[in-house]
A = this chain, B = another copy of it.
Amino acid sequence: MRIVLDAMGSDGRPVPDVAGGVMAAREWGDEIILVGPEEVVRAELAKHDTAGLSITVVHAPEVIDMHEHTDAVKRKRDASIRVGMRMVRDGQADAFVSAGNTAAVLASAIFDLGRIRGIKRPALATIYPVAPNPVLLLDNGATADCKPEYLLQFARMGVAYVERVWGIPTPRVGLVSNGEEPDKGNMLVRDTYALLARSGLNFVGNVEPKEVTRGAADVVLTDGFTGNVMLKTTEAIASFLFRFLRRELTGGPLNKVALVLLLPGLVAMLPGLALLVPSLRRVAKRLDYAEYGGALLMGVDGVVVIGHGRSSAKAVKNAVGQARRAVMGNVLEAVRAGAAQAVPEGEDEE
């Protein structure tokens, strides 16, 4: 498998991007094609031991910044994102991975790869981190304004992914709402509910956030605006709670005394804590976005994974992992086949 990796994607580029690519090449033995300004990428790559790994560099002189507008994408034909995307289009690579500007990757994917016939809008699919079982949330930000038919298409794409990659037959599909009853939600949710109910999918109805965190559905559907706010709220709460606990527990002078008094206890607890390490690690892992790697951009005609801008090397490696699982599961084929079926005979594309 050949995966093109944007060496100039993350905020800390090219450091975590290149390191993550090296980690991925070592872990899975895939061919990693680093795309970016050749000298910069080669200089960074030289810092790693790449003996026996299959890593190549493809030159892309231009770079798109985190805050650049999507029209920069059209202008900069030789940006790393665009060069990588064209390699996927031309069959020179199986997938493209970038921890760069989401809007730019999205724009380039639509521009250079195009949408799959029958899919009107793309969706970003992410693993929702706070549930007892894997939950695929989409859309988390590709299409902020949705129509019911878009959400139905997202549902079919999500189901294809979960079947192919997670091996779950007839995944449960839930629709994010502010109440479980079919008449709850905004207009979009109520209309989508009706469409999903007669879609033939395993639709379990509306799900409130607490049901999502209890794993009540395998595929959780929502428009890109709500999905993004929901995901960012989740991240914000988790980080707030840890911050708040730390500040409260180490804040006042009384607490400083308390912490000193706690010391002998903590020492006595060491053997017990050591046994708990695997559990504590599972808790931390659960909330660490780096474990998930990124979001799969669905609906465009190629496998594209977008990582977090703040990606570490591990996060970049896991984004590559996500791309390879999508390739191995043949998710694209499944989405293409499903979408083609869903397009009524003779209907024109929008």
Which positions in A face B, CB cutoff 8 Å?
A: 67, 130-131, 141, 144-145, 176-178, 181, 185-187, 189, 208-210, 212-213, 223-226, 228-230, 232-241, 244-245, 248-249, 251-252, 254-255, 257-276, 278-280, 282-283, 286
Q: A272-B265, A279-B255 are in contact. Are A213 and B229 (CB under 8 A)?
A: no
Q: Give Cα A261 to B181, complex, Å.
A: 48
26 sample A-B contacts, Cβ–Cβ < 8 Å, listed by A number: A130-B237, A131-B240, A141-B178, A144-B178, A145-B186, A176-B229, A178-B225, A178-B228, A189-B225, A209-B229, A209-B233, A210-B236, A212-B236, A213-B236, A213-B237, A230-B230, A245-B283, A248-B282, A254-B275, A254-B278, A261-B269, A261-B272, A264-B268, A264-B269, A265-B272, A266-B269
A257 touching B244 by the CB < 8 A rule?
no
Q: With contacts A176-B229, A265-B265, A268-B268 known, what are 8 further pairs, Cβ within 8 A?
A: A144-B187, A186-B224, A209-B229, A209-B235, A213-B239, A245-B283, A248-B280, A261-B271
Q: A272-B262, A276-B255 are in contact. Are A283 and B237 (CB under 8 A)?
A: no
In order of increasing CB-CB distance, the 6 nearest A-B pairs are: A265-B269, A261-B272, A258-B275, A265-B268, A262-B272, A178-B228
Which residues of chain B are within 8 angstroms of A276 by Cβ–Cβ distance? 249, 255, 258
Q: A178-B141, A241-B241 are in contact. Are A258 and B233 (CB under 8 A)?
A: no
B144 touching A223 by the CB < 8 A rule?
no
Q: Give Cα A72 to B130, complex, Å.
A: 37
Interface of A is mostly: helix
Q: Give Cα A230 to B230, complex, Å.
A: 6
Distance between A130 CB and nearest chain B CB, rounded to angstroms: 5
Residue on B nearest A278 in the bound complex, by CB: B254
A232 touching B178 by the CB < 8 A rule?
yes
B235 touching A210 by the CB < 8 A rule?
yes
Which residues of chain B are within 8 angstroms of A265 by Cβ–Cβ distance? 265-270, 272
Q: Give Cα A273 to B176, complex, Å.
A: 41
Residue on B nearest A69 in the bound complex, by CB: B183
Q: Give Cα A315 to B265, complex, Å.
A: 37
Distance between A221 CB and nearest chain B CB, rounded to angstroms: 13
Residue on B nearest A274 in the bound complex, by CB: B258
